[in-house]
Structure 1
Amino acid sequence: MKLIRYCILLISFSSFAQQGGMWIPSLLEGLNESEMTSLGMKMSAKDIYDVNQSSLKDAVPHFNGGCTSEVISPNGLLLTNHHCGYGAIQSHSSLENDYLTDGFWAKNYTEELPNPEMTVTFIVKIEDVTAQVLKNTQKLSSEEEKQAVIKKNISHIVENSPKESWQNNRVRTFYEGNQYMLFVVETFKDVRLVGTPPSSIGKFGSDTDNWVWPRHTGDFALFRIYADKNNRPAEYSENNVPYTPKHFLPISLDGVEEDDFTLVFGYPGTTDEYLPAVAVEQRVNVINPARIGLREVALKEQDKFMRADKEIKIKYASKYARIANYYKKWIGENQGLKKSNAIAIKKQQEADFTKALAQKNLSQTYGHLLPAFEKAYQEFEPYNLAYTYFSEAILRNIELMRNAFQLVQLEQVYQAKGKQSFTDRKENLLERNASFHKDYSPHVDKEVFIKVMQVFAAEMPAEFLPENFKNVNIEKLADDIYSNSALTTSENTQKILKGSPKNVFKKLEKDPAFTLAKSLTQVFYQKVLPTYQEQELAITALQREYMRAILETSTKEDRIFPDANGTLRVTYGKVKGYSPSDAVHYQPVTYLEGVMEKYIPGDYEFDVPEKLIDLYKNKDYGAYAENGKLPVNFIGTNHTTGGNSGSPTIDAEGNLIGLNFDRVWEGTMSDIYYDPSICRNIMVDVRYILFIIDKYANAQHLIKEMKLVHPKKK
């Protein structure tokens, strides 16, 4: 196998090249640095990433494994999105102390709230290890054998690469397995909640405004990193002290204008920019509609109860937001892919790719790929659809079924590994049991069950349903399960799990929730999962070969970036408005006036705190206004995705100017196809954040921690 080294970042395949890109920060010197400079950047690549000196990377940790954050003071003060900290905020909330509704602001270190299991992870060093990972795989023809050797090589690298005792090594794959990078990281485990605005600010617009522009959301929250006396990671302890960072971001008070340079630094989760047209067609026409349909009925039921009952609203707020986020994203993704004609464009790219193969005498090597994709995805479709329905219905949207599925897995663990493994898994389930039921309502879940299972029974390919589930009366089934299952309460779940494995499973076999989950799971494991995994592995191998072919047929003028994979990336662009449709043009900045225009007293999504109204009426904006108006959000051309939530938006000189939190609905298809005319990321203007902290929360002690600058007034 020909090894493709990091220099492939500097070449690409012309018909794939587009504005955008998610670039590895250790490899910015050269083309990327020149492009950023041409856009107005005044920093160097080493200011962004440097192993030997402090740099921007040292201020941008991965937040709790799913979002991004940034250090904004010498005392470890951490900024991220309100929605990234939502679960922690909810966990500290109750009817007596409703921080979701009222907000929370610690007045000093002792009032800051610990969050068990929350982590932030810093990148210390990035190193290319492709040759070591792919060693001894070149002559292997079996995909299973290749993956086994790669896994062994990665384990050796992780265990033997240099690091400090408090650090960890990780290896991640890029370009579909054509490149591998080693990351040396530091993970801090004592992260405390410092401040959060009420949801009427931090989640203003809620689901109606999610993924859309114009936006008026103060989507931020403050945490603090704590370390031991040596400034190293440590488990939570009252003896820990605020972390002293290698670098923290100064904050610009000068604001943004159209065409200002913007750099977004963060941990984008997953993109699929190089999927073939047939895969995109399947997602648009089959998989996304299935996901959307199931989540739509589940969300409708949850929303009905949340609007009627404040206690249910608190219990389900975080869960609802999590499910609704991608539900709406998939709708926008489908609309964007159709509007931008992405499938036709990808087919044209593939025609150009075929010509390029012929020009480079590579048709014999790679000419089989596109026909192979067509055949593979045709065979994959029914299994992909069945996998989607099972995971959405059983594992995501019906909470009781998810719990029952975990008990089915418990039985499988016992049968495969014996009593000790059973005991260990059971103890883990019991630990999670109380916290799960704290935010669970059987009454709500029953109605979700009915609606979701009606869709599941009707739409799941019939060959993948148990015989006793065909033509079933879902409402009667729900009555039986939610009236008689022990799994609907914490106490009864604990009782049913007491005793020897034999006694536990004897009791479970009489539980209607368990028996339903078991029958559905058995069919899924027997008829769906093995073929799904086999075909997915074959498609993965094809995709890796396709990626290598794209790289080999690229020209020096082109730009190919690796798909997002949860690792630290740089994306750069400009503040820019856009025109989503005929006769419509959006300006790039919104103001507090827009909040008041949307204000609906008492509304679930558009209520506004009285104090914010008073500040608006009095124009009491402090140092944060611009020509008498208070900026709230702005948009740019940065190529972002899930995981970039909480990413810092940095100006040309390395100062914080905004906080990334969303994308525009018309451009959510950028995970698959980036169209620079309509793809925009949405950011909170940092001056709105400072205004809320200072004027709304009266938390001036936090402002004093920060370094506020005026770079445009030099």
Structure 2
Amino acid sequence: MSTRRFAARLVLLSLTLLSFLPPARADEGMWLPMLLKQLNEADMQKKGLQLTVEQIYSVNQGSLKDAVVQFGGGCTGEIISDQGLLLTNHHCGYSQIQSHSSVEKDYLTKGYWAMSRDQELPNPGLTATFIVRMEDVTSQVLAGVPATGLGEAERERLVQQNGQRVAQAAVQGTHYQAFVRPFFNGNEYYMFVTEVFQDVRLVGAPPSAIGKFGGDTDNWMWPRHTGDFSLFRIYAGPDNKPATYSPDNKPFKPRHHLAISLNGVKPGDFTLVFGFPGRTNEYLTSWGVDELYSLSNPAKIKVRDAKLHILDQDMKASDKVRIQYAAKYASLANYWKKWIGENRGLKKLDAVARKREQEARFTQWANTSDAARKATYGALLPEFEKNYNSLRDLTVARDYVTEAAMGVELLLYANSLSALGDMAAAKTPAADITAAVEKLKKGAVGFFRNYNKPTDQKVAAALLALYADGTPTALLPDYVKALRKQYPGPTGWANYASTLYAKSRLTTQADAYAVLDEVAQGNARALLNDPAYQLVNAIVTNYRANILPPYTIATDNVAVLSRTYLAGLRQMQTDRKFYPDANSTLRVAYGQVAGYEPADGVRYAYYTTLDGLMAKADSANPDFEVPARLTDLYRKKDYGPYAVNGTVPVAFIATNHTTGGNSGSPVINGRGELIGVNFDRNWEGTMSDIMFDPDRVRNITLDVRYMLFVVDKYAGAKHLVNEMTLVSGPVAAPSEMKAKKKTKRLKKTK
């Protein structure tokens, strides 16, 4: 063996041994950037941050937050060039890639790369939102709102009214937007001033065999080898401000863009995740956790399992159906598997019992000799129990309506026509009905483009059976009870679905248009007598009359109790740093690169490589197909400057606390450089939305070097790499990171 090969193997062995050191404990918390100075700066710097918090979040100068956007409504993206180039996950851009795809131009399968600016594809409705600043507006929002004695609905009305007034005043006379969100269950309120860009174009996406490699098999799992990224570009008007799409718009010039580090990671390295996490419920009571674990999650898992099975079969049988349902399938499957992992994690942690232990301590604290404390907190927990007990059947009924009944696309579409049906029944003026019909016609185009009647009929047969059997009988509409009697036996709902789809005129675009035209001409019965409309109307009417009112009363009561309970917990645990639950607002999570031990005798390294990807390759399994060009690059070891020890790093894990909405978030090192793109959590850590396990929670990150390798060597889109700022070699000191002129740019490679 040559000395060079021996040295390379020695380095690789050293990294492997490092990855098996006792795992670091994960870092819980999704922190507000404006509060980092007082809550987190010292701890972050102890873990390896070399920046000041002013370099992370600043209102007065460009900072890391100015390179982070909310991508669409549910993901995060980051700016990686001074020309508005935006990096996010492949699964975040999936619906846009799908919208540009057809059987003839199958960008999902083949990928897409714009080789010039005029090839970058517009995406109507897609936005990129920057946070300009955030502000504590608790006192303004709660002004005139009594602390007690006010119903939750009335309190919420006053809070919303005050919040809107504060937000409008903050952006009056500017092109900015603003909104106010509650924190700590409504104990605090913060305002976010935003800049929303509306012209966001698709620049590049790898084929699904790279961007979705591992598919549903590997989803939420580690080790992972998914090239989960896509590239977009933000365009602006001539003044660099937001503008609707125009061919005359220019690439946006950001206040800050992220330099990209080629130096890689090792165990213990500091990592910062900056993004827009969606929803967490860390402060649920034992009854709330039990409801989720024993009722809600099992019902939703059961329904989605049935639907996914049907979609999978039909998508494999037809390329047209595959493209139509690709984004919908991915969305359904994502949380289906997450809920399964979440329940496994909650069981392993014995979460309900641990919550009860905390509640016992709270009860003891609340019932001390302090009379005021006892009056405020002493009776909270019995009230929680009473309200959650009243919610059990209602929660199940709600979930079967939303997941099963509304999981049938025909019913979902029919329900979208309910306002028109109400207008027609109320004999609304013809001009208003005509205007509504024209608007509904426009909306129908996108629906039917991605709709397949035979597939949906199969879904209806399965999901209506689950809906009727799973909903408590007392909460089923009489219409559905009658159908169950009319179509008995194990094939009853399949027989009904066959009749329904044969008789309904809402299953094709042409027929639906005809129905809408008849309504516009005064024939309301064309819609009101349609069997799909009648079924969904019965379900929704029953839901609004018999499920939603008592559900709202109980959940409003729980909201009031939760606000008081969390205030009490913060008083009881004065030495604890509390972070607010995620609510799709900008947050910072931080941690360190680390492997973990998911089970007895099992240890996972902190990284994966292209070698591991090729070892998984299986042409007989669609989840593990590998493009021929990637195989060719692997055989030739044609890796450019992105290789380490003879292979290309693909992904790594760290201890950051993340959730849905963090998809696409930049993962940044201690010097403020991009080292990866967050795209998932490990399955053993999915319960972190409810309860955190510091030994097992890991966020999964695409190594930025794999992204660069795919763009450069696989796609041949070197022009995109050339506009990025790449940092390699000796690392810069923190003070140097502020000056772009001192950032080292990687020399062009052949």
On the 8 A contact 2:200/2:232 being kept in 1, the answer is yes
Whether 1:428 aligns to 2:452 is: no
Q: 1:702 aligns with which of 720, 723, 726?
A: 720
On the 8 A contact 2:26/2:657 being kept in 1, the answer is no
Whether 1:87 aligns to 2:98 is: no
CA deviations 1:344-403 (Å, max 9, x no partner) are 1111111222233345822221111111111100001111110110011222x2111101
1:268-307 matched pairs, under 5 angstroms: 268-307=277-316
On the 8 A contact 1:117/1:189 being kept in 2, the answer is yes
- How far the C-alpha of 1:414 sits from its partner, in A, is 5.7
Which letter does structure 1 place at the counterpart of 2:191?
L
On the 8 A contact 1:190/1:235 being kept in 2, the answer is yes
Look up the SS of the partner of 2:193 in the other structure: strand
CA deviations 1:311-333 (Å, max 9, x no partner) are 11111100000111111110000
Cα distance in structure 2, aligned partners of 1:275 and 1:360: 27
Look up the SS of the partner of 2:597 in the other structure: strand
> Where does residue 367 of structure 1 map in the other structure?
378
Deviates more, 1:594-603 or 1:643-652: 594-603
> Where does residue 406 of structure 1 map in the other structure?
416
Look up the SS of the partner of 2:416 in the other structure: helix
1:175-186 matched pairs, under 5 angstroms: 175-186=184-195
> Where does residue 218 of structure 2 map in the other structure?
209
Cα distance in structure 1, aligned partners of 2:729 and 2:558: 50
Normalised by the size of structure 1, how large is the TM-score?
0.95
- How far the C-alpha of 1:97 sits from its partner, in A, is 1.0
Cα distance in structure 1, aligned partners of 2:26 and 2:561: 23
Q: 2:84 aligns with which of 76, 84, 99?
A: 76
> Where does residue 450 of structure 1 map in the other structure?
461
Unpaired runs of at least 5, structure 2: 1-24, 733-750
User: Percent of aligned pairs with the same residue?
Assistant: 47
Cα distance in structure 1, aligned partners of 2:536 and 2:504: 12
CA deviations 1:186-219 (Å, max 9, x no partner) are 0000000000000000000111110011100000
Which letter does structure 2 place at the counterpart of 1:193?
L
Q: 1:220 aligns with which of 204, 229, 234?
A: 229
Look up the SS of the partner of 2:179 in the other structure: strand
- How far the C-alpha of 1:559 sits from its partner, in A, is 1.6
1:489-638 matched pairs, under 5 angstroms: 489-500=508-519, 503-556=522-575, 558-638=576-656
> Where does residue 10 of structure 1 map in the other structure?
none
Which letter does structure 1 place at the counterpart of 2:415?
F
CA distance change for structure 1 residues 25 and 415 in 2, over 3 Å: closer, same or farther?
farther
CA distance change for structure 1 residues 211 and 422 in 2, over 3 Å: closer, same or farther?
farther
> Where does residue 138 of structure 2 map in the other structure?
130
Deviates more, 1:462-471 or 1:76-85: 462-471
On the 8 A contact 1:408/1:517 being kept in 2, the answer is no
Whether 1:118 aligns to 2:130 is: no
Q: 2:482 aligns with which of 465, 468, 471?
A: 468
Whether 1:245 aligns to 2:259 is: no
Look up the SS of the partner of 2:133 in the other structure: strand
- How far the C-alpha of 1:158 sits from its partner, in A, is 1.7
- How far the C-alpha of 1:679 sits from its partner, in A, is 0.8
Cα distance in structure 2, aligned partners of 1:639 and 1:331: 19
- How far the C-alpha of 1:341 sits from its partner, in A, is 1.6
Cα distance in structure 1, aligned partners of 2:154 and 2:426: 24
CA distance change for structure 1 residues 263 and 360 in 2, over 3 Å: closer, same or farther?
farther
CA deviations 1:560-601 (Å, max 9, x no partner) are 100000000000001111111110111010011111111111
On the 8 A contact 1:288/1:330 being kept in 2, the answer is yes
On the 8 A contact 2:421/2:528 being kept in 1, the answer is no
Whether 1:100 aligns to 2:143 is: no
- How far the C-alpha of 1:146 sits from its partner, in A, is 1.7
- How far the C-alpha of 1:94 sits from its partner, in A, is 0.9
> Where does residue 24 of structure 1 map in the other structure?
32
Cα distance in structure 2, aligned partners of 1:253 and 1:529: 54
> Where does residue 158 of structure 1 map in the other structure?
167
Look up the SS of the partner of 1:616 in the other structure: helix
RMSD: 1.7
Unpaired runs of at least 5, structure 1: 1-16
Cα distance in structure 1, aligned partners of 2:304 and 2:389: 25
Which letter does structure 1 place at the counterpart of 2:32?
I
Cα distance in structure 2, aligned partners of 1:418 and 1:159: 34
- How far the C-alpha of 1:18 sits from its partner, in A, is 8.5
1:190-209 matched pairs, under 5 angstroms: 190-209=199-218
Deviates more, 1:399-408 or 1:56-65: 399-408
CA distance change for structure 1 residues 413 and 390 in 2, over 3 Å: closer, same or farther?
farther
Cα distance in structure 2, aligned partners of 1:660 and 1:367: 43
CA distance change for structure 1 residues 87 and 619 in 2, over 3 Å: closer, same or farther?
same
On the 8 A contact 1:354/1:363 being kept in 2, the answer is no
Look up the SS of the partner of 2:149 in the other structure: coil
- How far the C-alpha of 1:31 sits from its partner, in A, is 3.0
Q: 2:71 aligns with which of 52, 56, 63?
A: 63
On the 8 A contact 1:394/1:405 being kept in 2, the answer is no
CA deviations 1:504-548 (Å, max 9, x no partner) are 531123322111112222222221111112222111111111111
Q: Which runs of 4+ in 1 moved over 6 A?
A: none
1:473-488 matched pairs, under 5 angstroms: 473-488=492-507
> Where does residue 330 of structure 1 map in the other structure?
339
> Where does residue 168 of structure 1 map in the other structure?
177
Which letter does structure 1 place at the counterpart of 2:114?
A
Cα distance in structure 1, aligned partners of 2:35 and 2:172: 21
Q: 1:34 aligns with which of 28, 35, 42?
A: 42
CA deviations 1:263-300 (Å, max 9, x no partner) are 00000000000000111011101111100001100000
Deviates more, 1:340-349 or 1:560-569: 340-349
Normalised by the size of structure 2, how large is the TM-score?
0.91
Cα distance in structure 1, aligned partners of 2:369 and 2:362: 11
Q: 1:265 aligns with which of 254, 274, 284?
A: 274
On the 8 A contact 1:125/1:184 being kept in 2, the answer is yes
Deviates more, 1:594-603 or 1:122-131: 594-603
- How far the C-alpha of 1:162 sits from its partner, in A, is 4.2
Cα distance in structure 2, aligned partners of 1:61 and 1:450: 41
> Where does residue 390 of structure 1 map in the other structure?
401
CA distance change for structure 1 residues 257 and 375 in 2, over 3 Å: closer, same or farther?
same
Deviates more, 1:199-208 or 1:447-456: 447-456
- How far the C-alpha of 1:469 sits from its partner, in A, is 3.2
Deviates more, 1:508-517 or 1:615-624: 508-517
CA distance change for structure 1 residues 20 and 203 in 2, over 3 Å: closer, same or farther?
same
CA deviations 1:477-496 (Å, max 9, x no partner) are 11111112111100110110
- How far the C-alpha of 1:306 sits from its partner, in A, is 0.8
CA distance change for structure 1 residues 478 and 708 in 2, over 3 Å: closer, same or farther?
same
CA distance change for structure 1 residues 130 and 392 in 2, over 3 Å: closer, same or farther?
same
